[in-house]
Structure 1
Amino acid sequence: MMSTTKSLFSASSGQGPFDRSQAERQLALEYLAEAWNSAEEDGLESASLAHASLFAALATFVRMHGDEATADLVAQLPDRIRNGEYNLERILQ
């Protein structure tokens, strides 16, 4: 069997308004990776970038979908994290 690294934006069970096309999410991730790398080259710490990214993402979701829908999305994160959906080193077989 061939193993592949799971993408950060792999298809999930569907999140209603949060479900976006795989190709668009991958392109967005590439843009963010480029900006992230530039910021690190300028001396910003990864933890600071992660906190700023989370804040920006959550603020955008709140603006687009409201407090309750965003809170519902965030409430699903612990299980998704524990299931490895955000582990870039996770190998699928």
Structure 2
Amino acid sequence: MADDREPPILPEDEQKRLALKVILEAWDEAIAQGASPEIVASSAIFAALTDMIDIYGESTVADMVQDWPDRIRDGEFTLKDGA
């Protein structure tokens, strides 16, 4: 008989670690199967935004990302050597 119990909810920091690990594994697998890094990145952003919009709505997500250009220009998402 199958176990129908819900899995336990992990603490938020563990959820983030697990989610990133699984996403990076899928990212690497897509590239290994022939998808370009640019296509994988674009697809990941699309998937993330569509899920966020489903959860929070278009207006809220638009507000969440409105400061992304400045954050990107400030290097917040740039991986530095030795970081």
**TM-score, scaled relative to structure 2:** 0.75
What does residue 59 of structure 1 align with?
50
For residues 22-37 of structure 1, the aligned pairs below 5 Å read: 22-37=13-28
For 2:43, the aligned partner's letter is: A
Aligned-residue offset at 1:62: 0.5
C-alpha contact (below 8 Å) 1:36/1:49 kept by paired residues: yes
Higher RCO structure (Cα 8 Å, ≥6 apart):
1
Q: CA RMSD in A?
A: 1.7
Runs of 4+ with >3 A deviation:
none
Considering only CA atoms, is the larger Rg found in Structure 1 or Structure 2? 2
Counterparts of residues 41-80 of structure 1 (less than 5 Å): 41-80=32-71
Question: Identity over aligned residues, as a percent?
Answer: 35
Deviation by residue 1:20-66 (Cα, 9 ceiling, x = unmatched) = x4442232111111001111110110111011111110000110000
In the TM superposition, what is the alpha-carbon distance from 1:89 to its structure 2 partner? Answer: 1.9
When normalised by structure 1's length, the TM-score is 0.68
1:82 matched to 2:65: no
- The aligned length equals 72
More strand by share: 1
- Paired letter, 1:40: I
Range that drifts further, 78-87 or 34-43: 78-87
